[in-house]
Chains A and B, each alone.
Chain A
Amino acid sequence: GAVVSQHPSRVICKSGTSVKIECRSLDFQATTMFWYRQFPKQSLMLMATSNEGSKATYEQGVEKDKFLINHASLTLSTLTVTSAHPEDSSFYICSASGLAGGMRDTQYFGPGTRLTVL
Chain B
Amino acid sequence: SQQGEEDPQALSIQEGENATMNCSYKTSINNLQWYRQNSGRGLVHLILIRSNEREKHSGRLRVTLDTSKKSSSLLITASRAADTASYFCATAASGTYKYIFGTGTRLKVLA
**Residues in chain A within 8 A of chain B (CB atoms):** 6, 32, 34, 36, 41-46, 49, 91, 93, 95, 97, 104-112, 114
Does more than half of chain A's interface fall in helix, strand or loop, or is it mixed?
A: strand
How many A-B contacts are there with CB distance less than 8 Å? 54
| Chain B interface, number of residues (Cβ within 8 angstroms) | 24
Does more than half of chain B's interface fall in helix, strand or loop, or is it mixed?
A: strand
Also in contact, A91 and B99, with CB within 8 A (given A106-B33, A109-B45): no
Q: Shortest Cβ distance from B53 into chain A, in angstroms?
A: 12
Which of chain A's residues have a CB closer than 8 A to the CB of B45? 106-109
Is A105 touching B98 in the complex (CB atoms < 8 A)?
Answer: no
Also in contact, A93 and B42, with CB within 8 A (given A43-B88, A105-B30): yes
Is A43 touching B101 in the complex (CB atoms < 8 A)?
Answer: yes
B103 on interface, CB distance cutoff 8 Å:
yes
